[in-house]
A and B are shown apart, each in its own frame.
Chain A
C-alpha cells in the first residue's frame, strides 16, 4: 500500500470532486443498508463494500453509459458509480416494484441496461465469460465497446476464471477484468485457499497484461484504469487489474465484522480511500475537509430521499414472476 503523497497525479480538481462524491454516495448508501436490513426493510443477502469504494469510483466514473459493466455479488458500489439511480437501486433491494429490476432480482442481481450495468451475479465468477461474450458481440457488430467485469479474489480459484481468461486472451477482446482483492473469500483468508498470493500472477500464463495496484487509493485506481481504458477503447485487450483493497464491513450484513470500531482505528484512517483522497486534495488545494463533510451530507440527504422513494414504492404484482419467466 502506498502513501498519499504523489498518487493524485492523474486527477484534477473536478475529477477529484467527482470521485469524492461517488465514494460518499456509496458509503452513505451502504451504511444506511445496515439498519434497513436489521429492520427487515431490505431483503436478501446484502454484501457491503465499505472500504472498497475507491475501486468502484476510480473505474466506473470513467465509463460512458454505453460501456458495459458486469459486477459480482458485492455490487451496490459498482452500480451507483456506474450511474444506477439510488432510489431505484434501494427499491430493488427492498423488493419493490419501483426497483430497477422490478423487485425480482435484489442485491446480487442488480441490472440497469440504460446505464450499461448488465449485472451483478450471485454465483462467484459466474458472469466472467459474459464479459467476453459482450465484447465479442460489440466487435462483430462493428459497435466496439469496452467491457469491465468486477470480481473478487475468491473467484480466481474457480475454474471458470481460467477458462474465461484463456478465451479473452485468445480472442483479444477489449475486456478489463477488475479484481478487488480484499484478502478474503467469504470468511476465509486467501492464504488458506491458495499459494498464489497475487491474482495478477494468474494472468501471466495467458499473456494477459496485468497490474497490481493499491485499490484503497482512488487516485491510483483512476490513473491505472485510465491507461488501460484508452487501450481498450482502441479495441485492444484484455487487461487485468488487481486492486488490493480492504473490506471494512463483514462478508454480509449481520456478519460480526465490527467495522464501525475499525473506522475509528488510526491505521484504518490512514488507508480509508475517502480520507486519503481528502488529504491528497488538500495538499493540492482542490478542496478541504469541509468540502468532504458537505459531500457526505449531500450523500446522506440523497440516501434519505432514496429511502422515501423506495418505501413508497408498492410491492410487485403477484402475477409478475409468471409474466417474466420467459421473454416475448
Chain B
C-alpha cells in the first residue's frame, strides 16, 4: 500500500502521461510553479517549460490555445485554477471544443482535458467556492468527470487523457490533501461512464458526487447503527452517466437520495432524478430526495458557510424523508 493524496496523484498521473506521450502538454496559470494546490508539482522540472506552460490570466485564450493545439496534434491539459473562472473560457469550451468534431463532420477532434476544481468549505467566499458542474453537463460534446478520491483520480484521469474528446475533470479543493492509501502497483485505469458502488445495502440508495461521497459513506455508517442498510453509489462521471447501475440499485431499494454540494436548483441531481424516474418510476416507494446547497451564493462568514454546506446530516435528513 502506498500513502498518497488526491493532489499528489494528479501530479503523478500527469507526469506518467507526459513521460509516455510527448504530445501531452500542460497550460495554465502558475502550473510551472506547481499551482496553489500542488497538482502540477514537479512537472516543469521534469518536462521543461516548453511543455508545462505558465500562462497569463487569460482563461479564454488559454482554453482556445489548447483547442487549436489539440486540433493540430497535441494532447493539451488546461488548468483553470478555480471553476468559478471557467465562465471566462465558456465560449471556447462550449462553442469551440465541444462542437468541433460534430460541426466538421468528424474531421476534427479536440483531445484535451480541462482540469479545474470547485467546492466550498475553505472560507473562500462566493467567487472561489462554487460547484458549477451542471453547466458543463448541459453541453453535448463535453464529458464531465468528478473524481471523489485519489483512487478515482488514478482510475479516471489516465482515461480522460487518452480520450479523443474534450473532457472536463472537476476536482474538489477540499479533497486535495486528504490522505489515502492506494494499492502497490497502482490502480488500473477504468473507462468513463461507469459508476462505482462503494457500499452495498438493500434499504435505500444514495447517489453522491465528489466530496459528498464521503459524507454519504459517513451517513451510511450511522444508518447501519440504526439497522438501515444504505447502498452508496458514486457516478464518477456525470457525462456519460451510468444510469443502469443507479437504476438497478433503485429497483432493489425502492428509495433514492441524490446528494451533491452544488445548489439544488438546476443541479445535476435534478437530471439524475429525472432519468431515474423515467427508468424505474414504478419501483419507487417514496419521492426521491435531493440534497444540495441552498439557492444562495456561498457566504464568507464561517458560521454561515458551515450552515450553507450540505453534508452527512443533510443526507441523513434525506434518507429519513424517503423512509417515512
Residues of A within 8 A of B (CB): 68, 70, 99-105, 109, 111-113, 118-119, 121-123, 126-138, 140-141, 143, 147, 159-160, 163-164, 166-167, 170, 321, 324-328
Closest A residue to B99 by CB, please name it.
A109
- What is the interface residue range for chain B against chain A? 35 or more
Chain A residues, Cβ within 8 Å of B106: 102, 324, 327
| One of A102, A112, A164, A325 near B141 (C-beta < 8 A) | A325
Given A104-B102, A126-B91, A166-B58, the answer on whether A119 and B108 have CB atoms closer than 8 Å is yes
Q: Which residues between 163 and 219 of chain B lie within 8 Å of chain A, taking CB atoms?
A: 163-165
Chain B residues, Cβ within 8 Å of A119: 100, 103-104, 108
Chain B residues, Cβ within 8 Å of A127: 64, 68, 96
Closest A residue to B74 by CB, please name it.
A137
Q: Report how far A134 CA is from B68 CA in the complex, Å.
A: 5
Contact present for B68 and A131 (CB under 8 Å): yes
Interface string of B66-86 (1 = CB under 8 A from A): 111111111010000000000
Min Cβ gap A92→B in Å is: 8
Contact present for B72 and A111 (CB under 8 Å): no
Q: Report how far A113 CA is from B99 CA in the complex, Å.
A: 16
Chain B residues, Cβ within 8 Å of A126: 64, 91-92, 95-96
Chain B residues, Cβ within 8 Å of A121: 95-96
Given contacts A113-B104, A119-B103, A132-B65, 17 further A-B pairs with CB under 8 A are A103-B105, A127-B68, A129-B63, A130-B65, A132-B68, A133-B66, A133-B67, A133-B69, A136-B65, A136-B68, A137-B70, A140-B25, A143-B73, A147-B68, A160-B64, A324-B102, A328-B163
Chain A residues, Cβ within 8 Å of B76: 133
Contact present for A101 and B105 (CB under 8 Å): yes
Q: Report how far A321 CA is from B103 CA in the complex, Å.
A: 9
Chain A residues, Cβ within 8 Å of B60: 129, 159-160, 163
Min Cβ gap A84→B in Å is: 12
Report the number of A-B residue pairs with Cβ-Cβ less than 8 Å.
Answer: 155
Contact present for B104 and A167 (CB under 8 Å): no
Chain A residues, Cβ within 8 Å of B103: 101, 104-105, 109, 111, 119
| One of A129, A163, A325, A328 near B67 (C-beta < 8 A) | A129
Residues of B within 8 A of A (CB): 23, 25, 50-51, 55-56, 58, 60-74, 76, 91-92, 95-96, 99-111, 140-141, 143, 163-165
Contact present for B65 and A111 (CB under 8 Å): no
Contact present for A104 and B69 (CB under 8 Å): no
Min Cβ gap A164→B in Å is: 5
Q: Report how far A130 CA is from B23 CA in the complex, Å.
A: 17
> Of residues B62, B91, B107, which shows the largest number of chain A Cβ atoms within 10 Å of its Cβ?
B107
Q: Report how far A324 CA is from B73 CA in the complex, Å.
A: 20
Closest A residue to B88 by CB, please name it.
A159
Q: Report how far A122 CA is from B95 CA in the complex, Å.
A: 9
- 10 cross-chain pairs, A with B, having the tightest CB-CB distances, nearest first: A133-B68, A129-B64, A130-B68, A102-B105, A163-B61, A101-B105, A133-B69, A111-B104, A137-B72, A133-B65
Chain B residues, Cβ within 8 Å of A328: 109, 163-165
Min Cβ gap B76→A in Å is: 8
Contact present for A101 and B104 (CB under 8 Å): yes
Closest A residue to B104 by CB, please name it.
A111
> Of residues A100, A113, A126, A133, which shows the largest number of chain B Cβ atoms within 10 Å of its Cβ?
A133
